[in-house]
Amino acid sequence: MRTAVYARISRDPEEQREGVDRQIERATKIAAERGWQVVDTFADNDLSGFKTTRRPGFEALRDRIVSDGIEAVLVQHQDRLARNVQTFRNFADLCRDHDVRLETWSGPIEINSATGRFTSTVQSAVDEHYSALISEKVRVVVDERARLGQPNGGRRAFGYLAGDPTRSRTHNFEIDPDEADVVRELYARVLAGESIRAIRIDLNARQILTTAGNPFNNRGVRELLINPRYIAMRTHRGNVIGEAAWEPIIDRETFERAQAILGDPRRRDYTGGPRTYYLSGLAYCGTCGHRLVARPQWRPNLNVRSYGCPARAEGGCGGSRIIAQPLEDFIRDVQSWKFDWLDVPAFFRAAEVVLEYPMVDKDPLPAWSFGRVTLLGDAAHPMVPRGSNGAGQAILDARALADCLQKHSDRTAALKDYETQRLQPTSSVVLENRRNPPDAVLREVYERTGDRPFRSIDEVISVAELKALTDRYKRVAGYDQAALRQ
């Protein structure tokens, strides 16, 4: 049986990969004992299965299931796949749709039978609840440490020593004399008018590395220079909340003068002519997390600067394209928005993704009707806008509700019957929108054309293929002809 192995470790701050490597080694041995052929391995190191953070290994596994003849996925335990119900159910549905078995080291995860789906979903809910409890406890500890001005741990900051773990946490930010001299030098060079690019080139020429052991880039130099930790101020959730428990490296006047220079929108951190793409290397796709590529957007007799997500063959999803000018104007506009109560640039830097026109929904509800009260339309099933999706489902709700009220003299029984008829179909619509998003056709066309112009859609995709892409959704949403004729 052609098997893919997936491994994940939530926390590995030193990025040694020992945990995931051991999982892969053990899983490969188990597969051999069962007579299975391991055709590929996927891993996510130091990444949570509870949060919705992008996991490249997990995403690559999903793509392999869709595109290749994988027959089974082997993991140490179900929680290695996900620690939240939504992600696990979506993955389980993907495996079921492609006839792929889910296996753990101790046995199968049943996803085909009703009882199996119930059991695995309950297990996923238990995993999610456990992670949520841990997160709550960690949040309390983190908030308290922030209130006391103490560091939270993790990779040490440049300019400070890692500290002795057997001593108080306040010692974990003792100054590293050599690196502190470099920090002071960087601030002095900025005040003297030197560009971040020139500073970065010099640091790399001198082989001065970040605390992760990597060469500095422009972004790393800037983030060091704008970080209030160097004046011993504690930040928490993007805001400065008070004095820290460690010694400063830079005096406040030097720091504030540097911020005024770095925050000047007229400043250019590079040499030569005007930059063609202001956000090159800094913008990321809101769908898959891949770095956006700066390139012209091809249109007849028009060359528009834009940022786009590469096609899947290049590691992206091909689903995002943004005209450059409005985005660049937006970023420039907020650079100076720093208030006592909110640092807007820091707020955006701390965000995993910024959505200009978000398409959102909510997980399906377990029940709508409560005695003589029920939900209808968006109150019952908020879903992403797709061809008047919400309005269409609300009309179907109204028809079903009217029929049930006419059928039953007992209003409570009528509302329960209405829920029975409509809850599951609308839940399926919400989930189908996630699996088969509204722009599925646009993405397919983009994949095939590379965003190049074409004369006719028929040159790119056939009518039969278009029909196949839309028919499944019509059936799920109740918009196929058979359902509408009833």
Domain boundaries in the chain?
A: 2-134, 169-262, 277-358, 377-484
The two three-digit tokens of residue 377, written as one number: 């339309």
Higher pLDDT among residues 379 and 434, named by residue:
379
Question: Among 146-155, 207-216, 418-427, where is mean pLDDT lowest?
Answer: 146-155
The pLDDT of residue 369 is 93
- On the question of pLDDT at 165 being above 50, the answer is no
What is the C-alpha separation between 23 and 21, in angstroms, rounded? 5
The pLDDT of residue 237 is 62
The pLDDT of residue 169 is 40
**Which pTM does this prediction carry?**
0.37
Question: Among 140-144, 179-183, 336-340, 412-416, where is mean pLDDT lowest?
Answer: 140-144
The pLDDT of residue 152 is 66
Contact 320, 312 (CB under 8 A): no
Percent of the chain with pLDDT over 90: 22
- On the question of pLDDT at 362 being above 80, the answer is yes
Instruction: Calculate the average pLDDT of the chain.
Output: 79
Contact 256, 233 (CB under 8 A): no
The pLDDT of residue 13 is 47
The pLDDT of residue 53 is 66
What is the C-alpha separation between 359 and 107, in angstroms, rounded? 38
In degrees rounded to 5, what are phi and psi of residue 303?
A: -125, 100
- On the question of pLDDT at 161 being above 70, the answer is yes
Q: What is the average pLDDT across 370-387?
A: 88
Beta strands in 426-472 (DSSP E): none
- What ranges in 68-194 are assigned the alpha helix state H? 78-81, 85-97, 114-147, 177-191
For residue range 59-75, what is the model confidence (pLDDT) as tens digits?
A: 889 888 888 778 999 99
> Hey, which of 17-21, 164-168, 246-250, 480-484 has the most confident mean pLDDT?
246-250
Spatial CA neighbour of 367 closest among 380, 377, 354: 380
> Hey, which of 145-159, 251-265, 307-321 has the most confident mean pLDDT?
251-265
| 3-class secondary structure, 107 | strand
311: DSSP letter: P
Confidence of residue 157 (pLDDT cuts 50, 70, 90): confident
- On the question of pLDDT at 301 being above 50, the answer is no
Confidence of residue 84 (pLDDT cuts 50, 70, 90): confident
Which CATH code for domain 2-134? 3.40.50.1390
Q: What is the average pLDDT across 361-368?
A: 90
Higher pLDDT among residues 87 and 413, named by residue:
413
Which CATH code for domain 169-262? 3.90.1750.20
Decide whether 2-134 matches 169-262 in CATH topology: no
- On the question of pLDDT at 85 being above 70, the answer is yes
For residue range 101-113, what is the model confidence (pLDDT) as tens digits?
A: 999 999 999 988 9
DSSP labels, 4-60: EEEEEES--TT---HHHHHHHHHHHHHHHHTT-EEEEEEEEES--SSS----HHHHH
Higher pLDDT among residues 249 and 472, named by residue:
249
Spatial CA neighbour of 101 closest among 70, 72, 78: 72
The two three-digit tokens of residue 37, written as one number: 């052929």
